[in-house]
């Protein structure tokens, strides 16, 4: 279970470019990366160039992901959860892992959350979270 002391340790200003709240990933219409890019573009008013630099992705890929999200339905208002975790943007810079793999690994290893708790945070199925985490562990072993 997420402890409020762990949340408060990670509580930073939303205008800070270095982290984003976990509740932005609750929209199932977006991929994790699309949700991240939309949040940075719409809520933090960052340019695509700055977003690309922050998440270590190609500028064209960042723009294309944003356009895909807009086609689905551009959502910029979030339901703020009482319990959420601030996620550092630096975890998304490793391109060997998918955005979901990085996010799940971070939540599992840093906060020792269960698969179910992570699934609730990102609105995904528990089995999906388990599978993603297992893949990330395998990739991590191979890359060492």
91-118 tens-digit pLDDT: 999 999 999 999 999 999 999 999 999 9
Say what the pLDDT of residue 81 is.
64
Number of separate domains in the chain: 1
The model's confidence at residue 8, banded by pLDDT at 50, 70 and 90, is very low
| Residue 90 near residue 99, CB atoms below 8 Å | no
CB-based contacts of 134, cutoff 8 Å, min separation 6 = none
DSSP per residue over 4-66, as a string?
Answer: HHHHHHT---TT-TTEEEGGGGG-TTS-HHHHHHHIIIIIS---HHHHHHHHT--HHHHHHHH
Work out the mean pLDDT of the chain and round it to a whole number.
Answer: 86
Q: Report residue 27's pLDDT band, with 50, 70 and 90 as the boundaries.
A: confident
Tell me the per-residue pLDDT of 39-85, one tens digit each, with 9 for 90 and over: 999 889 999 999 999 999 999 999 999 999 989 887 766 777 667 89
Is the predicted pLDDT of residue 12 greater than 50, yes or no? no
Domain range enclosing 57: 4-143
Output Rg (C-alpha) for the chain, integer angstroms. 15
């Amino acid at each position: 279970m997420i402890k409020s002391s762990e949340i408060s340790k990670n509580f930073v200003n939303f205008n800070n470019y270095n982290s984003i709240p976990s509740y932005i990933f609750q929209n199932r219409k977006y991929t994790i990366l699309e949700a991240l890019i939309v949040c940075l573009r719409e809520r933090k008013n960052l340019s695509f160039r700055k977003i690309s630099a922050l998440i270590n992705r190609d500028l064209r890929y960042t723009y294309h992901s944003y356009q895909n999200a807009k086609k689905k339905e551009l959502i910029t208002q979030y339901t703020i959860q009482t319990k959420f975790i601030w996620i550092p943007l630096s975890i998304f810079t490793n391109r060997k892992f998918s955005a979901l793999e990085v996010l799940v690994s971070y939540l599992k290893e840093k906060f020792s959350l269960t698969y179910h708790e992570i699934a609730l945070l990102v609105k995904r199925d528990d089995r999906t979270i388990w599978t993603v985490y297992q893949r990330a562990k395998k990739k991590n072993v191979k890359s060492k």
